[in-house]
Amino acid sequence: MKEISAGGVVYRRTGNELQVQMIQDRYGKITLPKGKMEPGETVEQTALREILEETGIQGEIVHPLETITYQFTLSGVGLVDKEVHYFLVEATGGSLQAQVEEIRGVEWLHPLEAWNQQIHSGYGNNDSVLKKALGALGYEVNE
């Protein structure tokens, strides 16, 4: 079985400050908003819908970042091939509000604090995604 999801690294500028959005998932890990594609959607539409549903933030895609793939076992289904398309997304509206059914919390962070949280409490397969996003925003970080 194959499952396709999409999401993004969301950023905003407030005055001279740049902030990146990070979420805490239901397992307590730091991650990026993402979710499953629905019938008839493009990966871009999926990414923007999931960001809005999970975080309350509307956004606009700047450019694609990376597509990651991995496998996991789903009870009653077996092995699932997962494909996740990530985009760099600029926040354009909405208000920050965690979708409590899906995630524990969401916050805006300084880009280097977002990186620090990612490498200490995030999923390893998101390291390169966030590194590419931060690089595009002018922040160089080391894995």
In a domain, 142, yes or no: no
pLDDT above 90: residue 100? no
pLDDT above 90: residue 111? yes
Three-class SS state of 36: strand
CA distance 49 to 65: 17
In a domain, 143, yes or no: no
Mean pLDDT across the stretch 86-94?
98
The domain of 94 spans: 2-136
pLDDT above 80: residue 143? no
Give the per-residue pLDDT at 42: 98
Number of folded domains in the chain? 1
In a domain, 125, yes or no: yes
pLDDT digits (tens, 9 = 90+) for 13-68: 999 999 999 999 999 999 999 999 999 999 999 999 999 999 999 999 999 999 99
CA distance 25 to 71: 19
Q: DSSP class of residue 122?
A: B
Q: What is the CATH number of the domain that holds 39?
A: 3.90.79.10
pLDDT above 90: residue 102? no
Mean pLDDT across the stretch 56-83?
95
